[in-house]
Structure formats: structure tokens, C-alpha cells
Chains A and B, each alone.
Chain A
Amino acid sequence: MNQVDQWNRLAAGRSYDRREFLRGLCGSALATTVSSVLPRRAWGSAVKRRKVVVVTFGGGARDEETFAPEGQQNIPRMLQELMPQAAFFTQVVNRGILGHYVATASLATGVYERFNNFADVSPENPTLFEYFRQSLKRPASDAWVVAPSNGFNRIGQSSHGLYTGAGASVILPKRLLAHADGSAAFGGLEHLLNDNYESPIQAPVALASEMPSEQVASMLKLSVADFAAHASTLNSPDELSLFVARRIMREVAPCLLWVTLHDIDVAHTGAFSLYLEGIRRSDTICAELWRTIQSEPEYKDQTNLLILPDFGRDSDGDAGGNGFQHHRTGDALSRTTWMMALGPDVRQNTVVDRPIESIDLTPTVAALFGCDARMSQGHLIRELGL
């Protein structure tokens, strides 16, 4: 059996486990044909008002700790609040490099990027944000990325020559709290500054196209000092990201917002309890983002929310790994994860069992906006009404 066959077999097995669990939990309908999950209402006339929020877990989460029966205690709000309104995709396979920045970049370009995960480089292929802005002639304020760590500062703009200057506004919330050298600008907030768990040391990062902190703060109508005061009440960098994302939604209301969470990646320290805390926090943040979407007039009833981990983590059974701690083996379970979709283009309470790939995200979101991610290598997820 070759490697791809093996991945497919194991991924399908995992998919079955998720599907059966969800069926028992929610009574979800299993979508066997595309037509059975088409949205309940046509969206073509509403496309101009359509908004999309993407949340990625930039620190893979395994089934054992999320959607498998023994993991459900860690994701109560996704299961109880979101799942009944969602379409759930049981097999999302990532065939690329399992490093968080390069994998998130691959999600954003729809191409498996091959650059060094720790390098300070832009994606080579055009990003979703560039397709969206250039095709629809949207301003920079209409596409935002809220990302966790310094390494993600180039995620919004590819190095592709055809899309120069068409990227997203990227905000690294912690930058608002730090001096240029990365040290805390406000006492007591050091705990929010360093979250690069994949490696204890980050490559030096150029600050080329980043907005000054003051400009960001001004746009969000928040003084940096007030921001720091609020941040001091938060427990984690991901809570800081949620705070900033909400502020962006309130003050700027972009059509395309991409939030990458990262607390889960504390798993690299080998502390299982902290990894579980990260999952529970991500669960809360996803539910709170959906609540925000439904409470903000600019977003309510016209926004699709897509939630997916960038990939999984190593299985306990692979001798080359160390269980949940890393994602180094490239085994099937570390490559197979899930996606949850909510919003007007999604049939609620549905389980989609066919395998999709993580690079399918970008062409699909682009199509939801009515534009073509023409260099993407992914396929449309037709179950989202396409």
C-alpha cells in the first residue's frame, strides 16, 4: 500500500469516527451528494454584501482531544452552540509541510507552499486576500489578518509580481504591546508576548510593510495604553487576538477577516494540561466570534464563518513522534483534520464525509466572493453552495 493510499485509509477511518460521534451527538444529516447540502437560499444577489471570517488553529488539535468521544469535554461550545448550525467536514487533509506558518500560508494561497517554516518570507503564490482585493477592487481595509506571532507578519501579501500591494492588513496584536526589540512595552504583559512554541527562537523579522502601532490603534479607536490596560486582563495571546478581531469588526467591518489562533501550540512544551487549556480557550473564542458575528449589524446573517485547524498532531502510535507534543512524523493523523462552516451559504447541522484538502479553502472562499483564485491548486468545496 503506498503512502497516499495509507493516508486515505486512515483519514477515512478517522472520518468515520467523527461522523458517527456527531451523528449521535447532534443527529446530523449525512450529506452524500452535493445537491443535498446546497444552501437553502440563493445567495447570488447578496454576494456584494457577503462577508467571510476564517479561523485557523495554528497549532494542530487531535481528534482524541476534540471531536472524538473522549475529547468532547474540551469543546463544549463548538459542539453545543455551533455544531447544530454548522456543516461539518470530517476529512480535511493537509499534504504539505507541517509547520504552522508555512501551513497557514498554504491555506491562504491554495497551494502547498514549500518555503522554510521559520524563514521571514512571504508566500510565493497569491493569497486569498490578493485575489479578493484585486478582483473586486477592494481597499486594504476590507481584508484583515489577525495573526499570533512575529513569524506571520508576511502572511497577508505574497511575493507574486502580479499582485503587488493588494494584500491584507496584517495585525500582530502583541506588537502593540512590545518595543521594537520584542521586549514588553508595558510591565506585566510579558506573558502575552512570546508564543512561538515550535522553536524557542524566532528568526529576525523585517518590519517592512507593517502599520505602525499608533496607526493601528487609531484605526481601532483605541489608545495603545488603553489597549495594554485591557490586555492585562487577558490570559493568553489568543484572547488578545479575539479582542482585536472584535474591535476590527466593530470599527472597520472588513468583508474578509482571517484569525489564526495559536495557544494550542503550547503542546510543544510537552505539558498535556496546557494543550487542553489551549483547546478549551479556542473553543470559547470560536463561539464568541460567532456571537459577535450575529450581534454586529454589519455581519449578522450575511457572514460565513469557517473554522479549521491547519493540521493535526502526531498520533500516540507513531514511534517517531511523542504523541500530542509535536507534528513531526507526517503520519496520517497529523495530516488529517476537520472543518466547521457556519453562515448563510451553509446548510445547518450537516456532516460532509468526502475528503477535501486544506488548500481547497482559498478557491472556495474566493468563489463565495465571486472571484477566481486562479493560481490556487485546490478545488471548490461545492457543499458550500458553489
Chain B
Amino acid sequence: MIGDAQKPSSLATQQLPLLRKLPIPLAAIMMQQIARADRLFPVELQELKRSLQALASPHSPAIEAAVRAFAALQLSPELQHLDWATDPASFVEKMSAELWSSGQIGAFHDAAKLLVPATLPTQTSPPIKPARFVTIALDRRLSAESSTPSLFLKLRPHGTFFPNVKDEEPNTLGEWLSARAAAAPAPYAHWRLSGEADRSPSPASVVSLSYDGLKSTRQQLLARFNATRNTDGASGPEGLRHTLLQLTPEQIGLASMPDPVLRAFAMEIFTGGSGTQLYATTFVQWTVREVLRRAQPQTLLARFTPRSEATSIDLRFTYPELEPPPDGRGSLIDAEMGAYLSYLNLQRLPDEGASFLVWHEGYGQALLIGNGMPGNAQSQSPITLKALLRLTT
């Protein structure tokens, strides 16, 4: 059995005999997860445990199929002789490049998909209470050319559109988030993400991250990019990737964040996400994706604020402290797509009954998806944001 508090090193030692019996590509990706065990959210750790147990126990047909699919991948002799157990992250990087160049990346993805059922609970889990709810708020500075734009067109087939929404209280969404966190306190279950630092404090049970709040970290990372590219003999993207794999949160100013799991998560948003270091809208969209995929929270409140205007990446590297002026118009387009992708990511979670709300605080338009909300529908009746939040729960 795998203990919750087990260190990655002892877990790796314990699981190595099992992993050595598996095809190398599968063993390497499992070892990569094990090596990160102390940086995983509770849900991820449970998934890892279930996967390892499924691979250790007599195989189900589905697991057998997954193992066979991994075994069918052809790795070069050079790669097979590399030590995947000691440095699985670097091994997986090299393996990924080789799978692309040998035309096997699709087969690898298919094999990985076969493994997904093994990560899911074997018994039907009771529905989470309160049901999962994601709210996306678009700051009023995100503006369109038109005075009354038609928002959320890509999402409208999935829910009910409300064009007349008023928010009559100063902190409706903050209070809604706090109430949900108080009603069902659990680690990493309630999140607040934003382009800008929170205007109102969140209770301790809410995990809060913002693009502005992580400004120093962003800038330190951009400075590292710049230093890496200016280093004599720099080895290009692969050298940068290797540098990032070795990076610790403390090296980019995250030491003050007390929670080691969150510290690592914040670092990975910037080292694993593309553009998260440059644009607030990208930061919010990508972080929503990663929070949903990894922490699987019960409540997520994300706020898109204006990103900076398009600026040469070269310039941003050279002057990491540069914060160009905002681009409200482009940000609205980014945020609308960000909301749509967030909904798709919510849909990928295994439970039913989740709610999704997106609203623009300036135009008073909202779209609600969830129980009792028909798709392709519209309600012209004026409604408050507070009332809207109660419609599906």
C-alpha cells in the first residue's frame, strides 16, 4: 500500500520492482509521477495510487491492453539504455522527442488514454456537496467596439443566456466563494484566480493566485530566460527545458509561499505554461485549466482582467520588469475564448451536475450552464448576479 505521507524517494524505491516489469515508456511516465508525489494535490495522489495498484494487481483486460500498447512502442537502443528511473523527467523529454520523430506519438497518446480508467475510482463515488461550480468574471475594462456586443456565442448552445444581469452588492462573487468554502472546507477545494490581486481578502480556506500577485516570480523567470539565451553555448530550447526541469520554486522568489504543493504548482504555471509569464489573460486561462485538471476543486472563481498590449517577446526578455499598457479590446476576445476553454475543461471532470457561469460586469451579460438551464435559451428578465448564482444549486 502507498501511504499518503510517503516521500517520493521511498515511494520510488518501493515501486521500482513493479515498474521494472513494465514497458519502459510506461515505467518512465509512472516514475515521473512518483518523483513528483510530494508536489501532487490530494486528488492526483489518489489517482497515482490507483494506477499503481491496478498495474500491480492481476490485470484487467483494459490494463492489459494499455500495457500491450506501451510495449508496442519502439524505442531506440540509445534511449533504452538511459536511466529512466533516476531522472524520469529528462528521460520523458527525450522519449517524447523520439516518439515524434519516429511517428509514434499518436500511438503513445492512445496507450496513455487506455490507462485513464485505471486512475478512476472503482466504486461509484458519492456526488460532491456542494456540486462543483466554476464562475468566470470578465472585468468591465474588457471592452468591445460595439456598445452592446453579443458575448459568449461559443457557449450559448450549452446554456441559458441572460442579457440583463445586475450586481447590486459590492462583493457578490467574493462572498459566494467564501460561503461555499465555509460550507465544505477541504484542502485545495476552493480557488480564486485573477489577473490582478484580490481587492477583498479571501478566507484561508480559499487558495488564491493572481498574475499581479506573482509579478516578482514572473519577472525573475523572464530574467532567467534572458540569461539562458545570452549564455555562450546556450543549447536552445532543449537547454532551456532542461534548465526549467531543474528549477526550484525558491529560485524564482516563491520561498515565501508556505505550502510546498502550492509553491510547486505556482512555479509550474510559469514553467509549463506558454505565455503565462507575458499576458494576464493567458495566465488566468491556463491556471483555470491546470486547477481543474489537477486539483479538481469544488469551487473556482476566475477573473479575467486586461492583459498588456502585444509586445515583442524579445523586449520582454530583455526588460523583464516591463509591464506594457493594457489592451482591453484584445483582452475581451482572449477572455471569451478563455471562458469557453474553461467550460470544456470542466466538462472533462468525471462528475455530473456541475455548474458554469460566465458574466461580464460591464455589459451585464451572463451565461449559465447547469441543472435546469436549457441550452440555446435566453432569458430577457432582469436578474441579479446573486440570484443567478442560486439558479442551478
Residues of A participating in the B interface, judged by any CB pair closer than 8 Å: 3, 95-99, 112, 114-116, 118-119, 190-204, 266, 268-274, 276-277, 316-317, 319-320, 322-326, 329-330
Size of interface on B: residues with Cβ below 8 Å to A = 55
A271 pairs with B275, CB closer than 8 A = yes
Cβ A199 vs Cβ B285 within 8 A: no
Write out, one digit per residue, whether chain B residues 315-355 have a CB within 8 A of any chain A CB (1) or not (0): 10110000000010111111011101100100010000000
Q: A3-B107, A114-B102, A190-B315 are in contact. Are A273 and B333 (CB under 8 A)?
A: yes
Q: Which residues of B contact A274 (CB under 8 A)?
A: 310, 330
Residues of B contacting A195 with CB < 8 Å? 313
Query: Is B313 within 8 A of A270, CB to CB?
Result: no
Contact for B334 among A114, A193, A198, A271, CB less than 8 A? A271
Q: Is the CB of B236 within 8 A of A200?
A: no
- A200 in contact with B234 (CB, 8 Å): no
A190-B315, A269-B275 known; A204 vs B234 contact (CB < 8 Å): yes
How many inter-chain contacts with C-beta < 8 Å in the A-B complex?
Answer: 132
**Interface: B192 (CB within 8 A):** no
Query: Roughly how many angstroms separate A245 CA and B172 CA in the complex, as a whole number?
Result: 56
Q: Which of A119, A204, A272, A277 has the most CB of B within 10 A?
A: A272
3 tightest A-B CB contacts, nearest first: A203-B236, A194-B314, A270-B282
Q: Contacts A97-B100, A200-B225 given: A271-B310 contact, CB under 8 Å?
A: yes
Q: Is the CB of B333 within 8 A of A276?
A: yes
Question: Whole-angstrom distance from the CB of B303 to the nearest CB of chain A?
Answer: 17
**Known contacts A97-B100, A194-B313, A324-B337; A269/B234 CB under 8 A:** no
| Chain A residues whose C-beta falls within 8 Å of the C-beta of B336 in the assembled complex | 272
**Which A residues are CB-close (under 8 A) to B4?**
none
B106 touches A3 (CB 8 A): yes
Could you say which residues of chain A place their CB within 8 Å of the CB of B105? 330
Known contacts being A118-B237, A273-B330, is A323 close to B275, with CB within 8 Å? no
Cβ of B274 under 8 Å from chain A? yes
Pair A201/B282 contact, Cβ less than 8 Å: no
Is the Cβ of A271 less than 8 Å from the Cβ of B281? yes
- Roughly how many angstroms separate A300 CA and B110 CA in the complex, as a whole number? 49
- Bound-state Cα–Cα, A203 to B238, Å: 8
Does B286 sit within 8 A of A, measured CB to CB?
yes
Kindly report which residue of chain B lies nearest to residue A276, judged by CB atoms.
B333
B218 at the interface (CB under 8 A from A): no
Determine the residue in chain A with the shortest Cβ distance to B232: A204
Q: How far is the CA of A75 from the CA of B301 in the complex (A)?
A: 35
Binding site for A on B (CB under 8 A): 97, 100-103, 105-107, 109-110, 225, 228-229, 233-240, 273-276, 278-279, 281-282, 285-286, 289, 307, 310-315, 317-318, 327, 329-334, 336-338, 340-341, 344, 348
Report the Cα distance A72→B236, complex, angstroms: 37
Asked whether B234 lies within 8 Å of A270 as measured between CB atoms, the reply is no
Q: B274 to A326, Cβ gap below 8 A?
A: yes
A232 CB → nearest B CB, Å: 14
CB-nearest residue of chain A to B108: A330
Query: Are A191 and B315 closer than 8 Å at their CB atoms?
Result: yes
Contacting pair A3 B239 (CB below 8 A):
no
Contact A316 B340 (CB under 8 A): yes
Whether A199 contacts B240 in the complex (CB less than 8 A), given A270-B285, A271-B330, A272-B337, comes out as yes
B101 near A114 (CB under 8 angstroms)?
yes
Contacting residues, chain A, for B239 (C-beta < 8 A): 201
Contacts of A317 in B (CB 8 A): 344
Question: A193 — which chain B residues lie within 8 A by C-beta?
Answer: 312, 314
B317: A residues at CB distance < 8 A: 194, 200
**Are B279 and A271 touching (Cβ within 8 A)?**
yes
- In the complex, 6 of the A-B residue pairs with CB atoms within 8 angstroms, ordered by the A residue number, are A200-B317, A201-B239, A270-B279, A271-B330, A273-B334, A322-B286
- Among A116, A190, A200, A272, the residue within 8 A (CB) of B240 is A200
- Do the beta carbons of B307 and A190 come within 8 Å of each other? no
CB-CB under 8 A from A266, the residues of chain B are 310
Give the distance in Å from the alpha carbon of A99 to the alpha carbon of B105 in the complex. Answer: 13
Which residue of chain B has its CB nearest to the CB of A64?
A: B154
Instruction: Give the docked Cα–Cα distance between A98 and B99 (Å).
Output: 12
Residues of B within 8 A of A3 (CB): 106-107, 110
Q: In the assembly, what is the distance between CA of A203 and CA of B228, in Å?
A: 11
How far is it, in angstroms, between the C-alpha of A3 and the C-alpha of B72 when the chains are bound? 14
Complex: chain B residue closest to A316, CB-CB? B344
Distance in Å: Cβ of B321 to nearest Cβ of chain A? 16
CA distance A98 to B233 in the complex (A): 26
Q: With A119-B236, A269-B275 given, can you name 4 additional A-B contacts, CB distance below 8 Å?
A: A191-B314, A203-B237, A270-B285, A270-B286
Q: Are A269 and B278 in contact (CB under 8 A)?
A: yes
Asked if A323 and B341 make an inter-chain contact with CB atoms under 8 angstroms apart, the answer reads yes
